[in-house]
Amino acid sequence: MTDPVMIPYEAYREYPAEEMLSRCTSFYEEMKRRRTVRDFSSRAVDTEVIRQCLRTAGTSVSGANMQPWKFVVVQDDRIKTEIRVAAEQEERLFYAEKAPKEWLDALAPLGTDPSKPFLETAPFLIAIFQERFGVLPDGTKVKHYYATESVGIATGLLIAALHHAGLASLTHTPSPMGFLNRILGRPRTERPFLLLVVGYPAENARVPDIGKKALEQIATFV
Ligand code: IYR
């Protein structure tokens, strides 16, 4: 066991109480404008913006700081097409055979179907993988604690960072997603977590008329 190395938390910033409230209000105002988009423009996005948003994702909290995430950024048109073909194959099965009626009913307000043109239209697909375990420099394996929770939180930060930058995203989860390992050449030790579609919304993009629960419905103060 190694002793922890502790340093002063110099990066911390406290704000006056009023500023605290205005900061969290403006952050909420910004975040509530975020919508999941399915109509993407093919307009190019600066790769440096994606890199910077991924740095934000990499600041995420994680179990024992194991950082069990891997982001594979896809820009290549041929790879996007391969992903679309494989995803639509799974989606056709999902909608026609696998999904129980209850699930299809739950999806009805979103207007989704097996056709996934955005997988080719959007400038970036970010395939997010969860590492089942870590490997130390000497080759020994280390367990990843709370890996799914950790990758989920990092993905949330990524979605927020992309939105903050003025980009739209879609969390796409074709199931199963094993084809991502094959197409992207990732080892079996990495489990596909989700596929994030990123770009500008199409000019005529429309989103479902759905809302979020009120604070009273999601939080209880005791
Ligand atoms: N993966 C399918 C179905 C789907 C499932 C959920 I849960 C959603 O929130 C949206 C869609 C699809 O992408 O169409």
User: pLDDT tens across 8-25, in order?
Assistant: 999 999 999 999 999 999
Q: Note the pLDDT of residue 1.
A: 75
Buried b (16+ CB within 10 A) or exposed e, 7-42: eeeeeeeeeeeeeeeeeeeeeeeeeeeeeebbbbbe
Residue 83 has pLDDT above 90, yes or no: yes
Ligand 1 centroid–CA 18 distance in Å is 41
Distance CA 63, CA 67 (A): 7
Ligand 1 centroid–CA 78 distance in Å is 24
Residue nearest atom 2 in ligand 1 by C-alpha distance: 174
Q: Note the pLDDT of residue 2.
A: 83
In the chain, the amino acid numbered 151 is: V
Ligand 1 centroid–CA 70 distance in Å is 22
- Number of helical H runs and strand E runs in the chain: 8, 6
Average of per-residue pLDDT values in the chain: 97
**Shortest-distance atom of ligand 1 to CA 173:** 1
Residue among 35, 40, 112 to mutate when testing ligand 1 (max atoms within 8 A of CB):
112
Distance CA 195, CA 173 (A): 6
Per DSSP, the three-state class of 71 is strand
The first and second tokens of residue 115, run together, are 């056709």
**Shortest-distance atom of ligand 1 to CA 112:** 14
pLDDT tens-place string over residues 121-179:
999 999 999 999 998 899 999 999 999 999 999 999 999 999 999 999 999 999 899 99
Residues 6+ apart with CB under 8 A from 129: 69, 70, 71, 72, 180, 186, 190, 191, 192, 193
Fold designation for 35-203: NADH Oxidase (3.40.109)
**Shortest-distance atom of ligand 1 to CA 174:** 1
Distance CA 50, CA 161 (A): 9
Distance CA 168, CA 128 (A): 17
Distance CA 57, CA 160 (A): 9
Lowest mean pLDDT among 1-5, 34-38, 61-65, 182-186: 1-5
Ligand 1 centroid–CA 220 distance in Å is 29
> Alpha helices, DSSP H only, in the chain?
17-31, 47-57, 77-93, 101-107, 118-121, 147-165, 179-184, 215-218
Residues near ligand 1 with C-beta < 6 Å?
91, 94, 107, 110, 112, 172-174
Residue with the larger pLDDT of the pair 29 and 137: 29
Whole-model pTM: value is: 0.97
